[in-house]
Structures are given as structure tokens and as C-alpha cells.
Amino acid sequence: MSKGWISVHRELQEHWLWKEKREFSKLEAWFDILLTVNHSEQKVMIKNTLFIVKRGDSIKSLDTWANRWNWNKSKVRRFLNLLQNDSMIVTKNEHKTTRITVCKYDSYQDARNADETQVKRKRNADETQMTPNNNDNNINKENKENNVVEKENTLHDVETLKKHYLSKERVLNAVINDKQNKVKDLQDLKYKLDLHCKDLTQQGRYSEKWLEFTKYFINSLRIGKFDKKEVSQINSRSFSL
């Protein structure tokens, strides 16, 4: 049997294949739980009752799960009992709803987001050194470069940041799909990213930190920084990026 894992984004639940009207299989229902439970602690109000929903928890009712999976309530209850008996989840009856806690939730998450111990990190590093190949080396190099750009509290020239931004396909899709950003398509996003870099350069900001670069870009999109009037001002000078 193959070992290892793949990361699956929660946006899968918005895909037309996932949204197809059907009766879920047990595997699909389990997968839906993993995609739906909280990835961070939040407060949720249900019928004037405030709940603390922790990482790996959900407080959806049995009726809600039944509607999602095209099951009846009794089948949902039997399925959750089955998962609990196999130590996959823990259920708890709450006022007006049911709390589900996924056991070992962090084991299903990307290692970058899970709270790994130093022992696990060392083991992963040792395994990488034992089975090297050119493709893995290229991926590790790219990940290292990404971490340098995104995590270090240092400045990078805007051209480097622009190229890094364009390499992040998931980020680009998220920006395009968010109507607040007023971006038509990928071509429009690239055009506005170029304008963003020109705008920074005009302000004398030839280098930026990654977080400030991305935040300023999104804010500029949402306030219409790149509408016709503003664009004419940005293009009033010629800059070669």
C-alpha cells in the first residue's frame, strides 16, 4: 500500500464535482467532516447560545449533516457512532446541536500548520537525506526560497516579490474569485500587479517586505487604486521593472 499524504484545500467543497447533488458514501461523509471542522478556535452563536469551537471541532447539528449528505438523521447518528467506536471522532451532545471532535486532527494537516515536535522534524529531515533525487532537491530549494521571502523580516526588491506572487497559483485564484478585489481574470490581475509595482517604485519603495507588499496590493485593488484615473497618474512616468 502506498504511504504518505497529499494536502487538499477546503475550496474543494466549492468545486462543481463536490457540489453535485447525490447521496454521500461513508468515505465522502468522513472526508466532508475533515474539510469542515475548524482549523482554528472560534466563537459561534447558535440560537442565542455562544459556543467555543476549537481546532478540529464542529458543532453542526445532525440535521445539518443529514442535509449535506442526503441521508436521514438516523443514518447520520449511526455513522457518527461508527466513527466514534473506531476512535476517529468523539461526539458530545450540546444544547441545540452536536459537537464532533476529530481525533488526532493535526495528523491530517500540512506539516507547516501542524504543531510538530522537534523529533518529528528531525525524522523528516533524516528521511529526506536518505532518499534524495533531483526533483526533491528542486522542490526543497523552491520551498526554502518561498520561506525566505515570506517569513524573514527582510526587504526584497519588488520584481522578486512580483515573481514570487505570480508563482502562487492558489493565491492568484483566491484573489480573482474574491469579488471585493475587482479583478476580472488572470490577465487583469497580472496587469494590476505590474501597476502595483510601478506605484511602489514611484513612491521610492524599491524594496518591500512580503507581508506589506501583499497587503498593500489587496487594499489597492479594493479601493479602486487601479481605475482609469489612477492608472493615468501611475503611468505618467516611465519605469522599467
Q: Which residue, chain included where needed, has cell 518529528? A: 120
**229 and 173, same domain (yes or no):** yes
Residue 131 lies in a domain: no
Residue 199 contacts residue 220 (beta carbons within 8 Å): yes
Binned at pLDDT 50, 70 and 90, residue 171 comes out as confident
**14 and 101, same domain (yes or no):** yes
Q: What is the CATH number of the domain that holds 67?
A: 1.10.10.10
What is the pLDDT, as a whole number, of residue 127? 53
pTM of the model: 0.47
Residue 55 lies in a domain: yes
Domain boundary among 82, 108, 134: 108
Domain boundary among 93, 108, 123: 108
> What mean pLDDT comes out for the span 72-89?
95
Residue 185 Cα distances to 163, 177, 179, 192, 232, angstroms:
18, 9, 11, 11, 21
**19 and 93, same domain (yes or no):** yes
Residue 139 lies in a domain: no
Share of the chain above pLDDT 70, in %: 75
Residue 137 lies in a domain: no
In total, how many domains does the chain have? 2
What is the pLDDT, as a whole number, of residue 1? 53
Residue 104 Cα distances to 34, 65, 86, 93, 95, angstroms:
11, 21, 13, 20, 25
**18 and 104, same domain (yes or no):** yes
**15 and 92, same domain (yes or no):** yes
Q: How many residues does the chain have?
A: 241
Q: Which residue, chain included where needed, has cell 523528516? A: 124
**39 and 104, same domain (yes or no):** yes
**162 and 82, same domain (yes or no):** no
Q: Is 216 exposed, middle or buried (0-12, 13-18, 19+ CB in 10 A)?
A: middle
Residue 221 lies in a domain: yes
What is the pLDDT, as a whole number, of residue 108? 75
State yes or no: pLDDT of 77 exceeds 90: yes
What is the pLDDT, as a whole number, of residue 90? 95
Residues 188-201 pLDDT 10s = 999 999 999 988 88
**172 and 226, same domain (yes or no):** yes
**23 and 89, same domain (yes or no):** yes
Residue 209 lies in a domain: yes
Residues 147-163 pLDDT 10s = 667 766 788 888 999 99
Domain boundary among 56, 83, 108: 108
- H helix or E strand, kind and range, residue 228: helix 228-234
What is the pLDDT, as a whole number, of residue 233? 56
At 105, list the grid cell: 486532527
Residues 192-228 pLDDT 10s = 999 999 888 888 888 888 888 998 899 889 888 887 6
Over the chain, what is the mean pLDDT? 80
Residue 93 CA to residue 162 CA, distance in Å, equals 50
Half-sphere exposure of 98 (CA within 13 A, CB side): 16
Residue 3 lies in a domain: no
Q: Domain span at residue 50?
A: 10-108
Residue 213 lies in a domain: yes
**163 and 235, same domain (yes or no):** yes
Contacts 24+ apart (CB under 8 A), 188-193: 190/166, 192/220, 192/221, 192/226, 193/162, 193/165, 193/166, 193/217
Query: 37: closest CA among 94, 96, 90?
Result: 90
What is the pLDDT, as a whole number, of residue 234? 56
